[in-house]
């Protein structure tokens, strides 16, 4: 069965003070449906990726909320998997097409974080951690800082090399009008930014963000997108222990290794075939580890490869995070996995403007929840 992406849309990401979750959802949904060339009544079902709405906003019933905004009462449900909620919602939607239950579905990723104070957001995000981690007072910046320490010690990597991830992603973000931060930064800026969880500094961290993204996908061959077709050729999910301390490795995420191995096999490609990838850089160390787990760099070499601009627009062959990634584009957690799909679709259609990766034909999205407790990998191609 061929699964094709039709319409896509995102809101701007950032501190959207005057915009409610409902308004963000409406904008993303309506623009994605219009872009797909379909009517709302053509949508068979809706899948919503969201993590924090129930915890921070006391609104957990997003399936019903979103179907109201479509203007059609369709089967509609929320999927939660921490920061991978968007990727998991897409995987669930794809499985509903593969089962034959539905033919054309809408997937929405949605998160409103900035109306709440940082302490509440940090505590809310820890709902994705284990009881032991919460009792110990761990936060996600703290857990990723442990990963950074383990990696730096194992491979002799400096904080300056880690900083090159944020430098690259902020550079790419300067070309993205939807990004939260659209300014370039230097390694010195990162090094001088305030410490959050040593060795991670403010500019090593993705921000707290609002945003929504939506895509319409179909298994019906007759529903053709007018422009260049983009197919989802693999959608794989893998899981690992909830606690970071229980992992066999602190410098590689098994969920990513397993999900990406299955995805490459399913799509019939290797890491060398990927032209463009959106990587879940919630912290600079996360992109370094992912670059190795996905097979784009040798073990211990990713930070150096990134610093040598091997994955930078206009320099490298395989470009990572052309959207600016989570660091520069922003990280409204439930929306991120869908925004990654929107970005790769635009890249494969040649519609990415100043951040276009030339001749991109095969793209990958890497969406991770917690410290790698769950990973969703999607591969998108212009040809089957």
331 lines the binding site for ligand COA (CB under 6 A) = yes
> For ligand COA, which stretch binds (CB under 6 A), given 41-49, 94-102, 150-158, 202-210?
202-210
Catalytic residue among 83, 205, 282, 329: 83
Active site residue 83: yes
Active site residue 282: no
Q: Does 118 bind ligand COA (CB under 6 A)?
A: yes
Q: Is 374 an interacting residue with respect to ligand COA (CB under 6 A)? A: no
Burial readout 65-74 (b: 16 or more C-beta within 10 A, e: otherwise) = bbbebbebeb
Strands (E), 113-207: 195-197, 200-201
Under rule CB under 6 A, residue 202 binds ligand COA? yes
The number of beta carbons lying within 10 Å of the beta carbon of residue 92 is 19
Among 141, 325, 332, 334, binds ligand COA (CB under 6 A): 141
Give the nearest distance from C-beta 82 to ligand COA in angstroms.
7
Instruction: Look at the chain and count its residues.
Output: 384
Query: Nearer Cβ to ligand COA, position 239 or 271?
Result: 239
Closest CA to 367 of 261, 236, 245: 236
Residue 284's SS3 state is: helix
Distance CA 310, CA 328 (A): 19
Mark residues 203-242: x for contact with ligand COA by CB under 6 A, - for none: x-xxxx----------------------------------
Check residue 196 for interaction with ligand COA (CB under 6 A): yes
Question: Among residues 280, 331, 366, 378, which one is catalytic?
Answer: 331
* Cβ at position 244, least distance to ligand COA in Å: 11
Hey, is 270 helix, strand or coil?
coil
**Residue 285 makes contact with ligand COA by CB under 6 A:** no
Report whether 257 contacts 294 (CB < 8 A): no
254 near ligand COA (CB under 6 A): no
Phi, psi of 52 (to 5 degrees): -105, 0
How many CA atoms, within 13 angstroms, populate the side-chain half-sphere of residue 25?
Answer: 27
CA 8, 327, 150, 319 torsion: positive or negative? positive
Q: Applying CB under 6 A, which residues contact ligand COA?
A: 83, 118, 122, 125, 140-141, 181, 196, 202-203, 205-208, 282, 331
Which positions are catalytic? 83, 331
């Amino acid at each position: 069965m061929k699964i094709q992406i039709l319409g896509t849309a995102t809101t701007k990401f950032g501190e959207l003070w005057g915009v409610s979750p409902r308004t963000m959802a409406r904008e993303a949904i309506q623009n994605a449906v219009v872009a797909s060339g379909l009517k709302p009544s053509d949508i068979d079902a809706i899948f919503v990726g969201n993590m924090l709405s129930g915890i921070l906003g006391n609104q957990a019933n997003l399936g019903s909320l979103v179907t109201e905004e479509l203007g059609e009462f369709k089967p509609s449900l929320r999927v939660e998997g921490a920061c991978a909620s968007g990727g998991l919602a897409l995987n669930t939607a794809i499985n509903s097409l593969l089962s034959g239950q539905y033919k054309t579905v809408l997937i929405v990723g949605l998160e409103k974080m900035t109306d709440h104070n940082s302490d509440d957001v940090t505590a809310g995000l820890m709902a994705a951690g284990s009881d032991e981690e919460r009792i110990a007072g761990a936060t996600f910046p703290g857990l990723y800082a442990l990963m950074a320490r383990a990696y730096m010690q194992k491979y002799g990597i400096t904080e300056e090399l880690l900083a090159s991830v944020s430098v690259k992603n902020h550079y790419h973000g300067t070309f993205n009008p939807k990004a939260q931060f659209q300014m370039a930064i230097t390694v010195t800026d990162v090094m001088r930014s305030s410490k959050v969880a040593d060795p991670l500094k403010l500019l090593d961290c993705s921000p707290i963000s609002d945003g929504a993204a939506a895509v319409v996908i179909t298994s019906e061959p007759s529903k053709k997108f007018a422009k260049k077709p983009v197919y989802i050729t693999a959608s794989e999910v893998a899981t690992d222990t909830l606690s970071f301390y229980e992992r066999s490795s602190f410098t590689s995420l098994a969920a990513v290794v397993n999900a990406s191995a299955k995805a490459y096999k399913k799509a019939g490609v290797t890491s060398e075939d990927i032209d463009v990838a959106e990587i879940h850089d919630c912290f600079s160390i996360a992109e370094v580890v992912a670059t190795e787990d996905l097979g784009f760099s040798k073990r211990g070499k990713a930070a150096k490869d990134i610093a040598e601009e091997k994955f930078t627009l206009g320099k490298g062959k395989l470009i990572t995070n052309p959207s600016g990634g989570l660091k520069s584009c922003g990280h409204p957690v439930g929306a991120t996995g869908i925004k990654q799909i929107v970005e790769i679709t635009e890249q494969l259609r040649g519609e990415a403007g100043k951040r276009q990766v030339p001749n991109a034909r095969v793209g990958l999205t890497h969406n991770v929840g917690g410290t790698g407790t769950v990973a969703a990998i999607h591969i998108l191609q212009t040809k089957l």
